[in-house]
Structures are given as C-alpha cells and as structure tokens.
C-alpha cells in the first residue's frame, strides 16, 4: 500500500495542520532577529501554496533549536512568520501559543486560504516526550494532518508521530514525498557504479549506513575525522588527530566487511594545532606524532574524483575536513565541484547533512546537483534501512 499524499486530500474549507521544518539559523545582529538561511522555508513553499490554492486553512507548526521544553524568546518562530509573510506576499498570522484557547481561536478565525504559524513546538515538554495529551491538543486544531518535515521524520515526537493517531487522515507533503522517492531509488535500484562519500567527525554516525550499503555500493570514499578512526583501527599512526577510541574494533570489522570497497585517504593536510593559523602541510600515508589531520590531501582528491566522475549514482554525507577554516577547505569544496560535474554528465547526485549542504551551497552548486536533502539525520536513518516514525505513522491509501 502507498502512503497518502496531500494530493489525495480534499482541502477546501479544511483545517490543515502541517508539520514543517523551520528549524533555521537566525541572525540577531543590529538588535533585530532575521532568518539567516531560508533553504528549509523555501523547501516547504510548494506544500503551503497547495493548501492556500485549494482553499484550506494552513496551520503550520515547527520546532526551532533546543529550548528544553519551556519558552525561550530567542527561539521564537515569530521572525520566521515575518519572513514567510514576505515570501508568500502575506498575510501570515502568528500565534504565541502552540495549543490551547488562543490557538483554537486563531484557527477558528483564519479564513480559507489563510496561513497561521504556531509557536515553537518544543516550548512544550510534551513535544519531545511524544506525550499523548499534547498530541491530542495539536489534533484538536486539525481536520487533516500533513507532514512536510523530512528533517524530523526520524523522531517520534508529538508533532510528527503522536498527532497522527488522533486525526482522521494523515498525509505526506511534497517535500517529504520527493525525499522518499529519491532516497528509495538509492536503496532499491541505484544505477551502477554507485559511489557514496562519507565524512564528518564520527564513524559512529555512519556505521549503520555502511553496514546497509555493503553489497550494493561500488565504492565508499571516506574523509573527515572519521577516516582517522579507521586508520588507527588498521594499525596506522594518526598523530593527535581526532579518533573514536571506543569504535576501533567496529571500524576494523567494517573495513574488513567492505572487502575493498571502502577507500581511505592516501594523503592528508595536517597541522600542529586546530587553528587556521597553525603551520600546515601535506603528508603521505600515516600522520606523524605532534600533527593532526584536518583535510584530505590533493592525491586523495584526485583518486576520489576519478571514482566520482565514473559513477551513475552518488550520495554524499559529511565534509572531508574542517572546511570552515580556509587552509582545510580544499578537499570538501573539490568534492562539491566534482559532484556538480558528475551531475552534468548524467549521474544522480544526492547531498545530505548540515555541513555537506552548507559546503555545496557555499561552493555554488546547490542548484546543480540532483537533490539536496533537508534532513541529514533522517537521510542517514533511511539509508540505514531503518523505519522513519514520522513517515510510518501516516495514513495508507
């Protein structure tokens, strides 16, 4: 059976409670708080516009930051409502509560085709706890429910999973549907050669993905600090590089299971300290004592580039180094540029994870690659072959 889509719903005159992912960075310079990156807001626009065009009442809810279950003025969604008002040419109403009398009244008074953004769901402790009473209060605002927040679909929270048990119909929005369609192709029928690029700080974040893709993927290209855990697990020197000591046995086992498909850097950009100003150089093979690896080296870039340009399917999650510091950004930005070239050559290219998305955006290739996922954690969970609670809870056709 297929999951219900927003296109399967009659929205006219209905209260459409829509979970979006407006967990966006805010900029508070000059005393005014504004949205610093609107990528996730723009990603939700097709679903919001569908509700408006069909004459539904768009009641939007989202979390923002980690307010620990109580109101935090610095994490209010009001600046997001103001920003969305401009994107939609208004008006976007804002409710200072998430549930309760004020929320019910504003929903009741909302005209057909109107938009209302509720306050941060995580201001209520019942959100993360998936409290049934809080979920019921959310459901009181709805005739139908739409989940368009892929970035939180791997969390069983009240606004993503709990609420679905108290509404007649729960459907996926356009953003979620697109994410599931693209990522399902990777798991079910990837065009070969299939290459995945995994980086970032921790092997532990990627263990499930590597285990699930072994046997399907042709090459796993590893970079970032997680590569040093693999190196140390294989008996190589890593100097003062970041290593997950408690994951060495697991890393060695994964490397052996991969049977030659998991490739580690052959050279590194190393420095004497974790600083953009620290002396740095390129070293081959192992990393000497007193130095730490902070990026993949030029020989690794070329080796990875060759694999990527020969691929038909590419998934990238995690930077190759500390790309926030200019001396250690070349590896990450080279991967971004190569993915753009591979896309132009006909490959399906998918980028996910906050740092990778930031890098592909900074490099200017976010519009070139095939798909930029809005949910790093949800993407990894999906690629691990695990169930996403926020999707599994939706109604079936």
pLDDT tens sequence across 100-140: 999 999 999 999 999 999 999 999 999 999 999 999 999 99
Distance between CA atoms of residues 255 and 235, nearest Å:
13
Active-site pick, 65, 113, 208, 377: 377
Q: Percent of the chain beyond pLDDT 70?
A: 100
Assess whether 194 and 167 both reside in one domain.
Answer: no
Q: Per-residue confidence at 28, pLDDT binned at 50, 70, 90?
A: confident
Does residue 62 sit in the same domain as residue 173?
Answer: yes
Average pLDDT score over residue span 166-192: 95
Query: Is 169 in the same domain as 238?
Result: no
- Is residue 393, in this structure, part of any structural domain at all? no
State pLDDT tens for residues 335-384: 999 999 999 999 999 999 888 999 999 999 999 999 999 888 899 999 99
Of the residues 14, 19, 40, 122, only one is catalytic, namely: 40
Amino acid 39: pLDDT: 87
Cβ neighbours around 93 below 10 Å, total:
18
Domain extent for 333: 190-383
Distance (Å, whole) CA 335 – CA 221: 11
Tokens of 267: 């050279």
φ, ψ of residue 381 to 5 degrees: the values are: -60, -45
> pLDDT tens digits, residue range 62-94?
999 999 899 999 999 999 999 999 999 879 999
Among 178, 185, 202, 312, which one carries the catalytic annotation?
A: 202
Same domain, 257 and 160: no
Q: What are phi and psi of 15, to 5 degrees?
A: -85, 110
202 and 160 in a common domain: no
Does any domain span residue 78? Answer: yes
Pairing label, strands 219-222, 348-352: unpaired
* DSSP code string of 97-143: -SSSHHHHHHHHHPPTT-EEEE--GGGSTTTTTT-HHHHHHHHTT-S
- Give pLDDT, residue 1: 62
Bridge partners of 145? 17, 170
pLDDT of residue 90: 77
Annotation marks residue 202 as catalytic: yes
Q: Is the domain of 286 the same as that of 374?
A: yes
Residues 259 and 149 in one domain: no
For residue 389, the model assigns a pLDDT of 96
Q: Is the dihedral of CA 255, 373, 366, 23 positive or negative?
A: negative
Give whole-number Cα distances, 342 to 80, 180, 345, 350, in Å. 35, 22, 5, 11
* Mean pLDDT (whole number) for 29-36: 82
Q: 3-class DSSP state for residue 187?
A: helix
* 152 and 253 share one domain: no
226: in domain: yes
Query: What is the pLDDT averaged over residues 154-177?
Result: 97
Instruction: Verify that 206 and 116 share a domain, yes or no.
Output: no
Neighbouring CB atoms inside 10 A of 193's CB total 16
Calpha distance 271→291 (Å, rounded): 5
Residue 397 lies in a domain: no
Q: Is residue 390 part of a domain?
A: no
Question: Residue 149 sits in a domain of what CATH number?
Answer: 3.40.50.1260
* Cα–Cα distances in angstroms (integers) from residue 56 to residues 114, 139, 274, 284, 364, in the given order: 7, 16, 52, 61, 36
Pairing of strands 144-147, 170-172: parallel
- Cis peptide leading into 193, omega within 30 of 0? yes
How many folded domains does the chain comprise? 2
Which whole-number Å values give the CA distances from 260 to 196, 221, 232, 247, 263, in the listed order?
A: 14, 11, 17, 20, 7
Annotated active-site residue 285? The verdict is no
| Degrees to nearest 5, angle at CA 212 with 306 and 191 | 45
Considering the entire predicted model, what is its pTM?
0.90
Q: What is the mean pLDDT of residues 286-299?
A: 97
Cα 218 to Cα 215: distance, rounded to the nearest angstrom: 8
Give yes or no for residue 316 having a pLDDT over 70: yes
Does 394 reside within a domain? no
Q: Tell me: pLDDT of 33 over 90.
A: no
Last residue of a domain, one of 177, 205, 236: 177
Most distant pair of Cα atoms in the chain: their distance:
68
- Do 229 and 313 sit in the same domain of this protein? yes
253, part of any domain: yes
Residue 288 lies in a domain: yes
Other C-beta atoms within 10 Å of 35: how many? Answer: 20
Locus of tokens 């309760």? 100
Considering the domain architecture, whether residues 156 and 114 belong to the same structural domain is answered as yes
256 & 146 share domain: no
Residue matched to tokens 């080279």: 334
DSSP SS3 for 221: strand
């Amino acid at each position: 059976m297929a999951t219900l889509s927003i296109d399967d719903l009659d929205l006219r005159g209905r209260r459409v409670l829509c979970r979006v992912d407006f967990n966006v960075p805010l900029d508070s310079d000059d005393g005014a708080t504004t949205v610093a990156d609107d990528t996730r807001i723009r990603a939700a626009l097709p679903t919001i516009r569908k509700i408006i065009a069909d004459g539904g009442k768009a009641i939007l809810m989202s979390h923002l930051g980690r307010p620990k279950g109580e109101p935090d003025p610095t994490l209010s969604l009001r600046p997001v409502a103001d920003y969305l008002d401009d994107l939609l040419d208004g008006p976007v109403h804002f409710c200072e509560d998430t549930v309760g009398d004020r929320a019910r009244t504003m929903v009741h008074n909302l005209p057909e085709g109107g938009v209302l953004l509720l306050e941060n769901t995580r201001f209520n402790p019942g959100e993360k706890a998936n409290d049934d009473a809080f979920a019921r209060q959310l459901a009181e605002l709805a005739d139908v429910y739409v989940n368009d927040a892929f970035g939180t679909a791997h969390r069983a929270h009240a606004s993503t999973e709990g609420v679905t048990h108290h509404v007649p119909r729960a459907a996926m929005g356009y953003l979620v549907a697109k994410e599931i369609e693209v990522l399902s192709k990777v798991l079910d029928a990837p065009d070969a050669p299939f290459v995945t690029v995994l980086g970032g700080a921790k092997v532990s974040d990627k263990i499930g993905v590597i285990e699930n893709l072994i046997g399907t993927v042709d090459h796993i290209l590893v970079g970032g600090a997680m590569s040093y855990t693999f190196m140390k697990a294989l008996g190589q020197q890593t100097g003062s590089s970041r290593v997950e000591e408690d994951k060495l046995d697991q890393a060695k086992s994964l490397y052996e299971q991969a049977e030659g498909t998991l490739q580690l850097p052959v050279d590194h950009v190393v420095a004497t300290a974790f600083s953009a100003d620290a002396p740095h150089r390129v070293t081959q093979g192992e990393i000497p004592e007193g130095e730490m690896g902070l990026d993949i080296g030029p020989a690794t870039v070329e080796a990875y580039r060759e694999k990527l340009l020969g691929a038909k399917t590419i998934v990238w999650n995690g930077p190759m180094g500390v790309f926030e510091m200019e001396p250690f950004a070349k590896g990450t930005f080279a991967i971004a540029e190569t993915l753009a070239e591979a896309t132009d050559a006909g490959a399906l290219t998918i980028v996910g994870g906050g740092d990778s998305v930031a890098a592909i955006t900074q490099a200017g290739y976010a519009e070139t690659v095939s798909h930029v996922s809005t949910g790093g954690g949800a993407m990894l969970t999906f690629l691990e072959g695990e169930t996403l609670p926020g999707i599994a809870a939706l109604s079936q056709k």
